[in-house]
Every structure is written in C-alpha cells, then in structure tokens.
A and B are shown apart, each in its own frame.
Chain A
Amino acid sequence: MEKELLTLVTFFPLIGAVLLLFVPKDRPDSIKGLSLIIAFVTLIFSFWLYYGFDVMANGMQFEVNIPWISSLGINYHMGIDGISLLLIVLTAILTVLAILASWNSITTGIKGYFISMLLLETGMIGVFCALDFFLFYVFWEVMLIPMYFIIGLWGGPRRVYAAIKFVLFTMFGSLLMLVAIIYLLFEYQRFSGVFSFDMVKIIDDLPLTYREQLWLFGAFALAFAIKVPLFPFHTWLPDAHVEAPTAGSVILAGVLLKMGTYGFIRICLPLFPEASMAYLPYISVLAIIAIIYGALVAMVQKDVKSLVAFSSVSHMGFIMLGMFAFNVQGLEGSVIQMINHGVSTGALFLLVGMIYERRHTRLIEDFGGVAKVMPVYATFFMIVALSSIGLPFTNGFVGEFLILLGTFKANVVYAVIGATGVIFAACYMLWMYQRVFFGKVTRAENEKLVDLDWREKIILIPLVILIFLIGIYPKPFFDRIEPAVNNIVAKVEKARSLAAESGRESQNKFFATDQAETEVVIDSKEPPNE
C-alpha cells in the first residue's frame, strides 16, 4: 500500500472527476457532495503520507519508478521529500477548503466547475511528486487547462482576458523549459549512453559546463519566474487573481505560485549550482524589487482583492530572496514561507470572497465599521492579516525571520532593504483593515450584513489553527524540510568551493567579497571541531 500511496494521492481526484461525469447535472447537491468527499479522501491520503514519512531518512521516499514510454527512457517516476510532502498536504487542504468555499457562490455549470477543480488537484499534486522531467512537464502543463476554464467561465467581468493572459504567460516560459528538458535528455544520453529523463539521476550525475548551465538555468528559471511571479513577469497575476472566482484565487495563490518556487528548489538550484550563483545578484535584486514594488502598489489599491494579489507579489519576493541566500536558514525560511503564504493568502482570498458574496463589491470605500456588524468575521480577518504581516506567534513571523536571517548572513545590504518590505506590509494591511472594519458604519447596506455561518467558520478554522501551529511550534515542519534543504545547500556549497578552486571570477563585486568572507568564516570554524 505504501508504494501506491503517492499514485493514489495524485490520481484519486482524477478518478473522482471521471465519476462526476456520470452524475446528472440537474443534481447539484450530489455533485458538490461527491466532489467534497473525493477531495476529503485525498486529504486523508495526504495525511497518511505525512505520518508515513520517515523524518530521519535522507533522499526521496515513497518512490515509484516504472517504465512509461520506454523508447525515450521516460519513466513514471514519483517520489517525495520533505518539501514536496508539505506542499502536497497544503494542496489537499486548500482544495477541500476551495470546494467548500464554492458551495454557494458557483451557480452555473456546477458539474464542469467541480470536475475542473479535481483535475486541477491532480495536476498540482503531480507536479510536486514527479521525479521525471517529462512527467513533471506534463503535470505542469496539464493544470493550465482546468485553471483556464475556472478563470474563464466562472470569473469576474474581465475573466476572458485574464484567463488567456494567464495561459499565454505560463506557456511562454514553459515551452522554453521544454527545449531545455530535451537538451538535457541528449546531454545525459551522450554522457551515460542511455536515454533517461530521471530527475534524480540527471541532477546527481550529469556534469554540465558553465556555459550550458547558464543557458539551461535561463530557460528553466524563466518558466519558474513567470509562475512565481518574479518582477517583471508578474503582470498576469493581478488580472488572474482578481478575475478568478474565490476558490480559483485561493488555489492560484496557495498552490500554483508555489510551483514556481518549488521548481527553483527542486531543479534549478541542485542541477545548475554554478549558474545559480552567477544569477544570484540579478534574482536577488528582482526579488527585492518585487518585495517593495508589490507592497507599494498594494498600498494604493482600491479593491481589497487586488490588494491581496499585489501583497502576493511582495511575499513571493521574500521567498525568492530567502532561497537565493543559499544557506540553511534562508532556504528553510523560504520553504516554510511557501506554506505560510499558501495558508495566509489563501485565507485572505477566502475572507474577501465571503464579504463579496454578501455585498457584491470589494472596494474599500464601500465598507467601514464592518467590525461592529460582523465581529466574528473581523476577528478572523485580524488574525489572518497579522499573520500575513508576520507578527510573532503567527506563521508569517517564523518564515520572514528565517529568510531575513539567512539573507543577512549572505548579504547585509539585501537583508536591510528586504526588511523594509515587512514594514510596508504592515502599512497596507493595517490601513486597509482600519478603513474596512473600524469607524462608523457609513453605508446603510453594511448594517444588515450577516456574520459568518457555520460553513464559513469551518473553512477558516483549519487555516487559523495552521497559522498558530506554524507560528508557535514549527519544529515538526522543519524536521521534515531539513534533510532536503541540507542536500541542496551541500550541492551549492560544493559548487561554490569548486568555483573558488578554479578561480572563476564572479562579475559581481559584492558577491565576490561575500564569498571570500563566508570562506573565512568556514575556515575559522573548522579547527576547533577537529
């Protein structure tokens, strides 16, 4: 059973989607019920993965590796480490909540909607499990189709534009990634004599020249950077987030963006360590621009949903900044922040969706004094907003603290500038909160607002629990991430020392001095240990 568990988690939603085809479309309650059950069973499977996961073990677990298209060495190779594990659980949780959140808000084409949701879940979990480049690419692309329909059919007024923009942006990056993947196939064949798309083998064995690394890193990084989205590739995000239905935004922000950062961690860093170092200053600077630009733009938004969307740009910048610190703290913070962002931003989108269902507006100026009318809602919103800002004892603090710590060790300037983003986050979030919830009830419509019902509370409670759990006792999560992060850091360190030996000069002065400093630190530490 253990062996098939990963396949089961991935394809159970697909089986569910096929089952849904046979439910008559005039029975909406059965459709909703069945899809909820399927998503819930998938969640249980993912918990089973979590408990079956060996914290001590190093490397991939629950591996399945069987030939799929043998002429080209394409295998059905699935396996997870701690990073993928947490993202899978997050995906499963958010899908259940997204289905619950769509309960009343989706009124047309219910069958197609829930089928798309479940197909999307298969695609997303598949991306996090795939250990074969071909398989990874298939899952990566497959999830575009249901998302296209979710935005395009059930979205807001500019949904068609947003949906096409989303697909075209993602496609552009991923097609170049495809060329890079094919190139890797033939490089590996030249090197080892066999066709293989195996991610683990290629990452461990294949020697790439510096030039090749630079090109290939570029191709992969473009695909991932569009997905993250890193400044200046972020322009699809506000459109897609704002126009998507609530559940669509939750999945987009919660999981889809993580596929980009996950790609960086799983593929770019270990496969192209030297190129990663070469690109480090550029990506760090773009990440810092994203942090500050996202926050500033968020501050002037009139629409709460686009405010949350731009805050995503800012938060994803933090994740990238931490990742490219190339040390354990930065990477661990970055991974945990991926989870945090999924939880907090997912919750924010859900909250915005709830008020939108009541008032059919999301403009800040239409609200005011909501806390008096909807106290429970205001409390939930406060908790989530604070976690998004990164208040101590909430999840956001743990992630951002580690990221800044890691970045500080690598480059003080980046850390100092990046840290201002936290202050900006407090500005836009609290200012928005103040205008929406405090003061007098200025509009007559707002006086009759009904507070959250039991369904909505059920949706929010698990997320709030996660916010505090990660904020107060994050150890179980770090235990699972740590071996994977150590592996990546080891790879990068090895490349760094190789680069130092061969005397390859980095073009960036800042980076060069940094490198020298860290080496000195390592040297000075080592003698006492011996």
Chain B
Amino acid sequence: MDITSASIDFGIIWPEVTLLVAAAVILVLPFFRITTRFSPAIAFIGLVVAALLAANQWDSPNSGFYGMVTCDNFGVAFKLIFVLTSGLALLMAHRYLAARGINRPEFYALLLISSTGMMVMANTTDLVVIFLGLEVMSVPLYVMAGLARRSLESNEAGIKYFIMGAFASSFLLMGIALVFGAAATTDLRRIVADFSFIMSSSQPYLVAGVGLLVVGFGFKIAAVPFHTWVPDVYQGAPTPVTALFSVGPKAAGFAAILRVFTYGFVDLEVLTTLFWILAVLTMTTGNVLALRQDNVKRLLAYSSIAHAGYILVAMVAGGPAGTSAAIFYLVAYAMFNLGGFAVVTLLETRSGCQSDFSELAGLGKAHPYLSTVLALFMFALAGFPPTVGFFGKFYVFSAAVKSGFIWLTVIGVLNSFLSVYYYLRVVKTTFLDRAETTFVPVRYSPAIIVVLIITAAGTLGIGFFPQHLLEFSQSAIFAFL
C-alpha cells in the first residue's frame, strides 16, 4: 500500500475538529456578553459528539494529511479513552470549581484543547506530529494545574509541572532530532522499513535519540526515575484536574510509547531490557512510597505511578497480546481511578478539606453507600476479584507470562501484594477508625452521582463480564497503512 496517501482527508480528524470548535465556542461566548453558564454543557456536548464520531471510525483504518495522521483501531480506542476521561473529569469538576470560586469558562476550553492534543498524539506515526500533539496536550494542563490562582499549592503545582514538562519536551525534541539525523525521516513507518540499514549506518545516533525519546515519554507517563514531579503536582492541582492528570496524559503517553517502541523501534533489542528495568523500578518505587502517605491525594499519586508500572509490564510483554493488555488495563484503570478521585472530589467540596487520612474517619458511619463505593474502588486498585482491577492485572500478567517474562510477573504480583496494604489502609480509615471530630456530611450533586454510578458500574460490570472489553482491546491494533 502506498504509504504517502496524498489526500487531505478531514474525515479522519472530525473528532479532534469537534473538540476544537467546542473549545472555540466556549472561549468566544464571553466576548458577546453571553452568559458563561452553559460552558460545561457545551463542552460536554462537544465530547459526546466527538465520541460518536470517533466510534464511527472504528474498523475503518485510514491515513491522511500526507501520511501525517493515521487513524486505526488503536488510535480510535485511545480517542474513546480520552473522551471518557475528559467527560468524567468534567462532570466531577463543575461543583468542585464552583465551591472553590474558580469556575471559569477557560477551564472547559482548556480541557477540550488538551483532549485534542491527546487524540493527535495517539493518531499518528510521525514523531513530529506526536510532539505537536504532546505540546497541545501539555500546555493547557500546565494552566489547569495552576487554576486555583489564590492557592499557593496550586501555583506550585502549575509551575513545577511546567518547568519539568518543558525540560522533558526538550529531551523529546532532541531525541527526535537525533533520530532524524540517523534515519533522515521522522516517520516511523519508513524507519521500520529501513531499520537494518539505519542501524548499520548510524547506530549511535539512533540509540542516543531513542534513549532521549524514552526520557521524554517517561516523564508523561510518570515512569520512575522521571516521576519526581508527580506527588506535588497531583496534590496541589484542583482534584478533578488531578483525576485527569492521572489518566489522560498517561494514556496519551502510553499510546505514543506503544506506537514508537513496540512498532517503530521494535527491533531494537536493548529496549526490552530498558523497559523491563523501568517497569520494575516504576512499580516498586510507586508502591513502596505509597505505603507511608497520610494524604489520600498523595497516596493516589504514588499509586498512579505504580499502575503505570503494571502497564509497562504489558508493554515489555509486547506483541498484540501486550498491546491489548495495556489498552484493557488503561480502560480499567480509568474506571476505578477516576472513581476514586470522584470520591475525593466530593469530599473536598466541603470547605477546608485537604483529604488527609484523618478526615476520612467517620465516613463509613456518615455515608455508608459512598464509603462502600470508595471501598470498591480501593479493592479494584488493589486488584481484588470480582472487580475489573483483578481482571486487568490478570490480563497484563498473562501477557507477560506468555512472552516468557516470569520473573517480571512475580515482581509484579509481589508489588500488587504491597499495594494491598495501603489501599486497605484507606478502607480501614473509612470504616474502622473512629472520627475525632464530627464528620461534616457531604452534599451530592447530580453530576458526581452520575460519575460514581458510571465508574462503579464499570468497575464491577466489566469485572464480571470482561469479554466485550477484551474483544475491544484485542481489535485495537495498529494498522500498517
């Protein structure tokens, strides 16, 4: 098949265009003195339409813009993950932002622009376009982290994320430049085609370039040792934004990593060893540091590092099984992690709540159903059946065993054993500890109830019947256009 299809086919970027249009409408409305009350609704409609358009692209792989955009099942699957994540974050955000006095229309526009960037990142085989998408995704995120302008922590989060992110981007760019120097192209398909020639002619540049790419992407997925920004940024940012951070950019980073390393540079053998080490470091560091956290947001930050480690295990396993395991795990993780953050968001709509462990005590008595749901998410994060957390881990580890990485699997399950301790600590504090002060009841909003129902139903429902998601993730493969 001709790899440089010369058409400029807007059909393959309709979801992205929709999100941008919705963002533009939200930004423009205030100029015409129209009330901004509708901006969340506009953003939500934009996301729903984008989801429908993306779903329509399923099973019709296509390439366009001179081969710069590739829209295959893999990319579409990620588009759907991004829309789901952004949609749930949006539903969480409204009441929370209002309670903190930072409910501004820009937030919704930034959310949509950032999602557009993620989609671009997942739907290309060109390194430069990946970089473009990454920047479109990241810049709004820097702003969103610092959204609470009067909060010192939020400012710190914004600046920290920005400086570290800019650093990582420069590494990535340098890596792309070196790869270009070695291969004379930034298109992964051409690199794959000429791989042996490139290796023989300019191996050092290529390897150095790929190494820098690992650093750049490693930052986005918060792999150890590029994770140091995570706890402070996650804790300081407004909670719905943190929820988005923990899934959206991570999924986008994995989309790029899977494309670049399990397809583009799949023949570079040193990568398997490198990612093996990264996976072990990421899982272990995340879990060990999470053991002694006293703040739920910080705990979830470290736990998100650990979960990136599990997905890296799937990546090390490689092949179609590894890719589909990674996608399955990302969807599962989106469900229970966003659910966990939704509960934290709900708790933080009460004034003065910092989500310290001590503030959870008494929740079990005051809100038995909410705490049951929280416990469900914690058991899912820890990987207990019958939640989807178990099946996700099972699928990831079986991909690893299939490829012969038994020791990696053993390290993985031991890590998941460690994690049981701190997730159970949350459950323990919620149900078993006595509150020192009277527990201030929370007020539910319809949107957050919708989020909790979707995530809880997903966590349990997919856990009992994973077949459909399994088929979905197995069909979400690269198309070699």
Contact = CB atoms under 8 A, between A and B. Distances in A.
The answer to whether A and B interact is: yes
Interface of A: 68-72, 112, 134, 137-138, 141-142, 144-145, 148-149, 152-153, 159-160, 163-164, 167-168, 171-172, 175-176, 178-179, 182-183, 185-186
Contacts of A112: 368
Top 6 closest pairs, chain A to chain B, by CB: A175-B413, A138-B385, A182-B398, A182-B401, A71-B470, A141-B385
Interface in B253-309: none
Interface string B379-404: 10000111000100011011001100
Contacts of A149: 431
Interface stretch (B53-61, B210-218, B415-423): B415-423
B417 A168 contact: yes
A168 B413 contact: no
B471 interface: yes
Given A72-B470, A141-B390, A160 B384 contact: no
B450 interface: no
A153 B401 contact: no
Given A175-B413, A179-B410, 15 more contacts: A68-B467, A69-B465, A72-B398, A72-B470, A134-B394, A142-B384, A152-B428, A153-B432, A167-B424, A171-B417, A171-B420, A179-B409, A183-B401, A185-B398, A186-B401
Contact of A160 (B410, B414, B416, B432): B432
B466 interface: yes
B474 interface: yes
B406 interface: yes
B424 A164 contact: yes
Given A69-B466, A186-B401, A178 B394 contact: yes
A164 B429 CA distance: 12
Contacts of B406: 179, 183
Given A179-B409, A182-B394, A70 B467 contact: yes
B53 to A, nearest CB: 28
28 contacts: A68-B467, A69-B470, A72-B398, A112-B368, A137-B385, A141-B384, A142-B384, A145-B384, A148-B427, A149-B431, A152-B428, A153-B431, A159-B432, A160-B428, A160-B432, A163-B428, A163-B432, A167-B420, A171-B417, A171-B420, A172-B417, A175-B414, A176-B410, A176-B413, A178-B397, A182-B398, A182-B409, A185-B398
A28 to B, nearest CB: 15
Contacts of A71: 467, 470-471, 474
B416 A179 contact: no
Interface string B454-481: 0000000000011100110010000000
Contacts of A183: 401, 406
Contacts of A70: 467
A512 B358 CA distance: 61
Contact of A138 (B386, B424, B470, B474): B386
Nearest to A134: B394
Contacts of A171: 417, 420
Contacts of A153: 431-432
Nearest to B467: A69
Nearest to B419: A171
Contact of A179 (B386, B395, B413, B474): B413
A148 B431 CA distance: 11
B412 to A, nearest CB: 9
Q: Most chain-A CB neighbours within 10 Å: which of B397, B414, B420?
A: B420
Given A69-B470, A153-B432, A175-B417, A148 B424 contact: yes
